[in-house]
Amino acid sequence: MSLVILTSSTTKCKASSTLNRSSQFAVKNIFDNNSDTCWNSDQGPQQILSIDLERVAKVKSIRVMFQGGFVGLTGTVEVASQKNENPFLEVSQFHLVDSNDIQTIQLNDEGITAQFVRINFTSSSDFYGRITIYKLEILG
């Protein structure tokens, strides 16, 4: 059984872009458990979410709920256990579907030790490369 290892009160997350740089579409919205709020990226060929778990944890999977039509279809997940660790270690490549359903990116059944998680969306179902996420959970 996996447990959510982050909460909105402790999660620090940065996005490579936010639509109109508006707080209405801020990345913090993906952790607030409110289905009326979301993160919207600006347009572009690659979007990145960088997440600080604020403690080292065993990460097993990531669950994400997109808005259909604005789904990050392909990409990679990278992790680091120290703040300035470079390069991050790529632990997964993913291929998702254009859907509103919660989708899971499986990393490792045993868990991967990390404090920092970076999700690189390399393609989107939107012609302009925009991504909309309503919910994101990191499980460990």
Residue 90 resides in a domain: yes
Residue 81 resides in a domain: yes
Amino acid 4: pLDDT: 66
Amino acid 85: pLDDT: 64
For the chain, what is the domain count?
Answer: 1
Residue 1 resides in a domain: no
pLDDT for residue 18 is more than 60: yes
Predicted TM-score (pTM) of the model is 0.90
Q: At 22, is the pLDDT very low, low, confident or very high (cuts 50, 70, 90)?
A: low
Lateral strand order in the sheet of 47-59: 12-15, 47-59, 112-124, 72-80, 89-95
Return the amino acid letter for 128: Y
What mean pLDDT comes out for the span 121-133? Answer: 96
**Structural domain containing residue 100:** 12-139
Residue 6 resides in a domain: no
Residue 3 resides in a domain: no
Q: At 51, is the pLDDT very low, low, confident or very high (cuts 50, 70, 90)?
A: very high
What mean pLDDT comes out for the span 122-138? Answer: 95
CATH number of the CATH domain containing 90: 2.60.120.260
